[in-house]
Structure 1
Amino acid sequence: MTQTHPTALIADDEAPMRDQLRARLHEAWPELRIVAEAANGVEAVALAREHAPDIAFLDIRMPGMGGIDAARQIYAQCHIVFATAYDQYAVEAFEHGAIDYLLKPVTLARLDTTVARLRRQLDRAPQDIGAQLARLAQLGEQLAGQNQAAARPAWLRWIQAQSGNSLRMVSTREVLFFQSDDKYTRVQTATAQHLIRKTLKELEEELDPDEFWRIHRSTLVRVDAILEVRRDLRGRQMLRLHGYPDELEVSRNHGALFQQM
């Protein structure tokens, strides 16, 4: 027999999202009682154990413990519905599985589908969704890695250097250092020197800071081109580079780069 007043838990770190889902559920399923609300996965697990709800609506992304990890601890005792702003989760992990999902912001039409499904399931014991949760966690890690990679800036990899009537493409992996004066910036490789009109400040913003360090107000050097650092008789830090005969001075303002000296 279908329960007259089923109960539910809502977990979302954003209060407006909790309010919206609560209001939508009241429209779509007036008999459903919301017995607890949580702002993170830890609270959700504790409240689920305290109130034993029939259903848990869990946001996937919450600070501390997210919805997936919370579901791993409570899925045997209640039916799980995930809320997510990420279509990738829904498409790849939910469509043919035992877990239902809602895309945020939640629409009443989509919630009606979820409510109909939950009504059919309430008289049954919660399904063993451990394997699907493991797949979902793996998908989340992959998605996080993709998002992180997409957020990385595209660092400058090629320098366009004019040589007479021709244009030379110089890979930043070839560059030993950049050195500027008032009008031009010198691009020094192990075999050649080029002049470009791009300023050192512009280059510093476009180059990978893990690959190129500013050692002087007029010099950027490729880190893995550094052979050694020494102090001269005047106490200045001087760099020797692979494939280049002259030394480069490190200014006092940038001496902290080589603190052990």
Structure 2
Amino acid sequence: MPTALIAEDEPLLAANLQAELQRLWPELKIVATVGHGEAAVQLALAHQPDLLFLDIRMPGMTGLEAAQALAEDWPDDEAAPFPLIVFVTAYDQYALQAFERAAVDYVLKPVLPDRLAQTCQRLQAALKQRSQPQAAAATPSLDDVMQQLRGLVSQGGVGTVAGPAAQQPPLKVIQAGVGTAIHMVPVEQVLYFEAADKYVRVITAEREHLIRTSLRELQPQLDANIFWQIHRGTIVRCDAIATATRDEAGKVTLTLRGHGDKLVVSRMYAHLFKAM
């Protein structure tokens, strides 16, 4: 019996989607319906469903970020292939061209029964193909999914697909508040940035600062040639990296120049570290 998880922050839309899926595809079992991306990641890893219906815009982690997080954390187990993704979105056709790179299909809000029926047919065909003996060659691997997601993320995510934003000069100084003082931290001194709840840790060789922003808001202000994202919660200055070591399982760990911290590289970004 195929299984699915729905992530949609509008309860009425979530209930409608679930009801339509049950009508169109009675054999499909909905293992969970959640209202935000963090819960989608947690329960998808727990239930390992065949299908994911991900709303693009959700509080906190977006559907795209949830897909990225799952691609990073999904187990290396042939018995549990990465789920087929359907993005649920209010974006227009132009923006959806990018979503199709990392999804089996998409549906527009409000979800129309005829369009959802087409999606169900496409998913059923994809699941049938996956179950065939020759599926290993025909079905995209987790590495393929991660490559597709990297391409979508590198475009700036869903917020910039419809048109390029004005280029801003890279950030030069971080203003970190400490009590009544503001510490001016030159960006060139930062070794890495790490997400910490509603804050970002700013790590230099001498000390650590906390700034009240998100990594998602900070990243576009950094020079991408110098600051590399190595995990959904970590951005490191590339010339601060001393070594990148890959263990037998393929996990990459970084050491830093003049600093004792070690940083783990997720599978999504392990391709950055290859010998020349």
TM-score, normalised to structure 2, is 0.47
TM-score, normalised to structure 1, is 0.49
